[in-house]
A and B are shown apart, each in its own frame.
Chain A
Amino acid sequence: MSNTTKSKIKGGEQEAVIKINGLAKSFGANEVLKDINLELHKEENLVILGKSGTGKSVTIKCIVGLLTQDKGNVTVFDEEVDKLSEDDLKALRIRIGFLFQSGALYDSMTVRENLEFPLRRVLKLKDKNDIDKRIEEILEGVGLPDAIDKMPSELSGGMRKRIGLARTMILKPEIMLYDEPTTGLDPITSKEISELIQSMKKNYHVSSIIITHDIACAKITADRMLVMDSGKIIAEGSFDELENSKEKLVNSFFK
């Protein structure tokens, strides 16, 4: 069981697995994040909605230490990410899954090798039977058992995202960060991916942050939602609360 912070949310006590306070990040003159404060609770799906370029992806990259913030702090499982040593950061990253927008499959490897990679390199598993069993299980989980010997170039966009998700979930992370999981997909595949995100929460009890500007995806996956604009959080609430928001920008997402 993770040693996580307990914080009072809406009158009840919920465990926060991620806490972000006063996060700010600039690239040269471009101030991408201004003052981000958020918490992700255990077994919660938090959807961050916003237009392109509002700093959603930068926020989750700060969570896994791919980017270092200029101000503020990011705490994951009570550990400040930017203060961790290289080995501690590596250990923390194993507990966090990250699904990239493109799936980011290693294109010189087959699907099997893509899934073997984290098992062999990160978990240091050697037993071939154990590895094969885990791969088959996770491929069943994402509904692509027949793709095992295919190259990434032979897969469609939706299949790549499923395999990307399988590669992340094979390490059984406690937190999942989804960077625009349905972007570039047709509505049917988008719905399948959104349902897959829900099933991951149900089956593996993960806490997730889902970055998206796809309202249909948000409707299926969100327990709670944040809306970002110009590097700031401008609204927070459930899907229904935000759908009925009087705020012009928030409302425009739902039209």
Chain B
Amino acid sequence: MAQEIYIPTYKKVFEEAGNQVLFMFRFFRNIFRFDFEWNEMIRQCYMIGYKSFPLVAITGFIVGFVMTLQAEPTMKEFGAESYIPRMVAVSLIREICPVIIALICAGKMASGIGAELGSMKVTEQVEAMEVSGGNPIQYLVVTRILACVFMVPLLTIAAEALGLMGSYAGVNITGHVSTTLFFNKAFTSVSFGDLIPSFVKTIFFGFAIGFVGCYKGYNSDRGTESVGIAANSAVVSASLWIIVIDGIAVQLTNALGY
């Protein structure tokens, strides 16, 4: 009878970290084979990106709208209502939209990918692909991670635009500000120094969402319960990674003077 080996928790943490590094290595190695299926990647961009647009659009609009309504009384107290478009634009573009949209995408995309790959694993579809000589990492993982890397920044830009429209709507509930004046004030306060770091970090957010979703789904155990676990842990881990990446990004942009 084989002896059951007891592995201490700290070793399991290292084992998990090692597995994630190996999985990432397999992902990058497959990217540079330039053999991925474009049709599947476009399908994933549609499934992951386009189908998330309504949720992201509503969220972006409401965030801008609510921020404006919340800020207005305080700004009025200081006689600084005219700074609302600037304040909202900078906050939305630099921090709020990238992080909130990434967290929403983590909830929708990472869980979706985790559950899809997890159920493919349970129903032996991943193994079937592997034994037929196909490359499941290339077909299932590379396409989904790249789709997230492309779509999360685009969705964030869309949410920022709609957030500014929401803010414009919020400003016009109590007073009247013309469209030209509002967007003129908003855009004059935003520089490339605000846009670039924000855009770059959304690429990393997209990577984290796709990678964690794929890793959790691809490595899920057998049984229907594990599909739920894969989806759930994908959301939790991806959200955590987004917060960590954001913290690092803020430190970096401050250090670089943006």
Contacts and interface: CB of A to CB of B under 8 A. Distances in A.
A28 B129 CA distance: 27
Given A100-B124, A102-B124, A105-B125, A26 B131 contact: no
A107 B123 contact: yes
A118 B132 contact: yes
Nearest to B122: A102
B1 A167 contact: no
B77 interface: no
A173 B5 CA distance: 39
A28 B132 contact: no
A104 B128 CA distance: 6
Nearest to A118: B132
Interface residues of A, number: 29
A26 to B, nearest CB: 4
B127 interface: yes
B178 interface: no
A106 B130 contact: no
Interface in A26-42: 26, 28-31
A46 interface: no
A29 B5 CA distance: 8
A120 to B, nearest CB: 8
A99 B1 CA distance: 31
Interface stretch (A88-96, A133-141, A237-245): A88-96
A101 B123 CA distance: 9
A109 B5 CA distance: 41
B128 to A, nearest CB: 4
A94 B128 CA distance: 12
B172 interface: no
Given A93-B131, A102-B124, A171-B132, 11 more contacts: A28-B4, A29-B2, A90-B133, A93-B130, A98-B132, A100-B124, A104-B125, A118-B134, A121-B134, A122-B134, A168-B132
Closest 3 CB pairs of A and B: A104-B128, A29-B4, A26-B2
16 contacts: A26-B2, A28-B2, A29-B1, A31-B2, A66-B127, A90-B133, A90-B135, A93-B130, A93-B133, A97-B132, A98-B131, A104-B123, A104-B124, A104-B128, A118-B133, A121-B135
Interface of A: 26, 28-31, 64, 66, 90-91, 93-94, 96-98, 100-102, 104-107, 117-118, 121-122, 164, 167-168, 171
